[in-house]
Amino acid sequence: MTVAVIQFPGSNCEYETLSALHEVGLEADVVAWNSAISVLDSYKGFILPGGFSFQDRVRAGVVSSKLPILNVIKDKASQGVPILGICNGCQILAESGILPDYDHGASMEMGLAPNMNQESYHGFVCDWVYVKIKYPQASLFTRYFDDSDVLPIQINHGEGNFKFYNKEVVQSSQATQFVYCDEEGDASLSYPVNPNGSDLNMAGLCNQAGNVLAMMPHPERGMFWYHIPRYLHHHLSQKRRDDNLLAGPWQKLFESLRDYIKETY
Residue-wise pLDDT for 41-50, tens only, equals 999 999 999 9
SS3 per-residue string spanning 132-176: EECCHHHCCCCCCCCCCCCEEEEEEECCCEEEECCHHHHHCCCCE
So what's the pLDDT on residue 27? 97
pLDDT digits 0-9 by tens, 142-152: 999 999 999 99
- Which of 14, 95, 159, 220 is the catalytic position? 220
CATH number, domain 3-264:
3.40.50.880
β-strand pairing of 202-206 with 212-215: antiparallel
**Whether the predicted pLDDT of 106 surpasses 60:** no
Q: Is the dihedral of CA 189, 192, 193, 199 positive or negative?
A: positive
Q: For residues 114 and 159, is the Cβ–Cβ distance under 8 A?
A: yes
109 a catalytic residue: no
- Which of 87, 90, 181, 206 is the catalytic position? 87
Mean pLDDT, range 149-174, rounded to an integer: 89
The CA distances from residue 164 to 11, 32, 39, 76, 122, in Å, are: 26, 32, 36, 25, 19
23 a catalytic residue: no
Q: How confident is the model at residue 237 (pLDDT cuts 50, 70, 90)?
A: confident
pLDDT digits 0-9 by tens, 112-152: 888 887 667 778 899 999 999 999 999 999 999 999 999 99
Query: Where do the domains of the chain lie?
Result: 3-264
Q: What span, in angstroms and rounded, lies between the C-alpha atoms of 113 and 161?
A: 5
**Whether the predicted pLDDT of 105 surpasses 80:** no
The reply to whether the predicted model has a pTM over 0.75 is: yes
- Which of 157, 218, 227, 234 is the catalytic position? 218
13 a catalytic residue: no
